[in-house]
Structure 1
Amino acid sequence: MEELIAYILQFGTLNKQQIELITSKATALELKKNEYFSEAGKIPKQVGFVVQGVLRMFSYDNKGEEITTYFIDENRLVVDYENFVACLVSSDYLQAVTDCKFIVFSKQDWEELYQTIIDWDKIVNKAVQKAFQIHLERRTALVSKDTVTRYLSFLEQFPTLANRVPQAHIASYLGVTRFSLSRIRKNIR
């Protein structure tokens, strides 16, 4: 729980009672590898904070191929935020790539935090903006680079994931085949 509170306090200040309220609304959740935090075709129902593990965000292209668009590891929020807030059906999947542990908030509890904690909306908006900015910077860094440079950028951006995430997911994220990724990895060793 301390990690979550430290994360939130990056974006604003809270008093002891507000922290206690947040803690009282939080519940623990564990997912096994390959289970879903949220799924396409459904309305996202919770906001999570990753305590342990790695998730990936992915969707399917028009050929039915999985396209990994992002990885989320420890000490980060996980939610399909726009669809969660608007109560809309998601087009993305959030799937555990490893066994995961979370601190989660239901939609009802999240709304209660908005109604009870002064400036909670500002804190959340700052956290979401930072997450979007990081996501955009990481994706932009991959555009228009050759495959070797994309892989090296991936290693720089996600230094702990190369050995924790299946190569097929990394290849999908980089927009290359598994064979190409294997060749790239062999050549840079």
Structure 2
Amino acid sequence: MDDLINYLLQFGNLNQQQLQLILDNVFERTVKKDAYFSEAGKIPREIGYIRSGIFRVCYFNNKGTEVTRYFVEENRLIADINSMDSKVPSTEYIQAITDCEMIIFTEETLKLLSSTILDWDRILAKIREKAMMEKIQKIAPMLTEDATSRYLMFMEKFPDLANKIPLSYLASYLGITQSSLSRIRKQLSKH
């Protein structure tokens, strides 16, 4: 679980006792491809650290169309924090695109760490802040660029991801149809 420890230490100082407390209160879980870590309509009760694999966060719009908001790769925490904090059912799904290995923090563990480790809440706040900035950097260009530019930007930022995710998810993320994505890919392969 060194990967989790190294990740947490980027956001604050923790001594050996505190690190041991964290390790004693988390557990590992495998989430199989296509399974959900969190589902719309349910109140989330866990935060997961992704050791390996890729998740997507998606929802269904008012027309019933599935929309992929973003992808989350390894060495990141994943959860619907807002729904968890406010104890309201989530409006999003967190689905594994590949088999994923995770380390799980339950709600009880988070409360224990918050009440025991002085800097814990500040560390979580820094992690949230970084995640929000990354999300903004991923989404902002999607709002202003044309479909081909959005696809090229995605390929530049996430070269490994394109071959690991279904085209339907990528098209949904880019805000285009699968046939449009196929046409863009075909045009680009000619150049």
Give how far 1:177 is off. 0.5
Q: Kindly tell me the number of residue pairs found equivalent between the two proteins.
A: 189
The one-letter amino acid paired with 1:188 is L
Tell me which residue corresponds to 2:147: 147
Q: What is the percent sequence identity of the aligned residues? A: 44
Give how far 1:157 is off. 2.3
Q: TM-score when scaled to structure 1?
A: 0.98
Q: TM-score when scaled to structure 2?
A: 0.97
> Structure 1, residues 38-95: CA drift from partner, whole Å, max 9, x if none?
0000000100000111110000011111000010111011100111122211000001
Tell me which residue corresponds to 2:12: 12
Give how far 1:142 is off. 1.1
Give how far 1:136 is off. 1.1
Tell me which residue corresponds to 1:92: 92
The one-letter amino acid paired with 1:95 is Q
In structure 2, the gaps of 5 or more residues are: none
The one-letter amino acid paired with 1:102 is M
Give how far 1:156 is off. 2.1
In structure 1, the gaps of 5 or more residues are: none
Quote the Cα distance in structure 2 between the aligned partners of 1:123 and 1:159: 30
Tell me which residue corresponds to 2:185: 185
Tell me which residue corresponds to 2:27: 27
Quote the Cα distance in structure 1 between the aligned partners of 2:107 and 2:8: 18
> Structure 1, residues 17-40: CA drift from partner, whole Å, max 9, x if none?
011111111100111111110000
> Does 1:112 find its partner at 2:112?
yes
Let me know the Cα RMSD of the aligned residues. 0.8
Tell me which residue corresponds to 1:56: 56
The one-letter amino acid paired with 1:41 is G
